[in-house]
Amino acid sequence: MDIYKILEKLPHRYPFLLVDRVLELEKNVRIRALKNVTINEPFFQGHFPNRPVMPGVLMLEALAQTAALLAFETQGTGVDDNSVYYFVGIDGARFKRPVEPGDQLLLDVQMDRHKAGIYKFNAQAYVGDALAVSAQLMCTVRKVS
């Protein structure tokens, strides 16, 4: 899935769109996506000027956006003007290595379960073979007015 298809599926836009390409997708099972981390990211100006590091919350957000793509592809839908994809929980988040400019963040998300509109995912992000972050994510889609 290229960036144009991602833009059709997710409501996020620059500077908050954190998925550049989907490499693999197996509906209702798993997804593998890519985030290219460049020095031009706006958060690097303040985090940290002398040694830029991608904030952990943004790594989790990249995983959540990847999870949303899996959920939408599984359902055969996407977001619209009347719905929002929300985080409802993050459990067991562990940060194992810093992510720096020039890294490629490989985002691996597996669907654990889907019940009553709540999705639960197991998620990991890697730089090369090194685990950068892992967490269990819970998300839902809700209609808004």
What pLDDT digit, counting tens, does each position of 37-87 carry? Answer: 999 999 999 999 899 999 999 999 999 999 999 998 988 877 777 877 888
Helices (H), 35-130: 56-75
Quote the tokens at residue 15: 């500077």
Range of weakest confidence among 33-37, 73-77, 122-126: 73-77
| Catalytic-residue membership of 47 | yes
Domains of the chain by range and CATH?
A: 3-143 (3.10.129.10)
Rounded to two decimals, what is the model's pTM?
A: 0.95
Give the whole-angstrom CA distance, residue 75 versus residue 27: 8
- For residue 28, give the DSSP letter: T
Catalytic-role residue among 5, 12, 30, 47:
47
List pLDDT tens digits, range 99-117: 999 999 999 999 999 998 8
**Which amino acid is it at 64?**
A
Residue found under tokens 């619209």: 80
Whose CA is closest to 18, among 34, 32, 31? 34
